Amino acid sequence: MPRSYSAFLARADVPARKALQQAVDGLKLKLSLDDAYVPFETSGYVPCTLDGEDAGFDLRFQDVDASLRSRVGDKDVAIAFRWGGDPREEASVLIVCAALAKNFGAVVHEPDADRLFSADEISDKARKAAASL
């Protein structure tokens, strides 16, 4: 069964690929995003390389669901991430979500548990996921 996270950002804060990659690099986790990633245009599978191995995830840009608007403040864009059972895919999602939270003010949501994560919490999850590979 696929898993998912969403990152909520203000539209003006959604980073281009170069800025997002720099934020990922700042986490010192070895994830490289595909060069074809373009905000608001990319939809579907986004290939990545995680510590030299193939990884990736499904990504979609969406409007913020009405039920979450009061919880995410002025964030008006949702980036929905989904993955299957591969732990490299989960780690890739967590790393990108951590970069978005730490550098671009994203609020990260885990829909299955209806939980919001702080930048530090999602960064810790990303580090643990990467270390477990």
pLDDT (tens place) for every residue of the chain, 133 residues total: 569 999 999 999 999 999 999 999 999 999 999 999 999 999 999 999 999 999 999 999 999 988 899 999 999 999 999 999 899 999 999 999 999 999 999 999 999 999 999 999 999 999 999 999 9
- Report the alpha-carbon distance of residue 11 to residue 40 in Å, rounded: 10
Sign of the alpha-carbon torsion through 68, 69, 73, 79:
positive
Q: Is the pTM of this model over 0.95?
A: yes
- What radius of gyration, in Å, describes the C-alpha atoms of the chain? 13
Per-residue tokens: 131: 């270390």
- The maximal CA–CA distance of the chain, rounded, in angstroms, is 40
Count of domains for the chain = 1
The parent domain of residue 56 ranges over: 3-131
Q: Where are the alpha helices (DSSP H) in the chain?
A: 17-26, 69-72, 87-104, 119-131
- Report the alpha-carbon distance of residue 51 to residue 131 in Å, rounded: 11
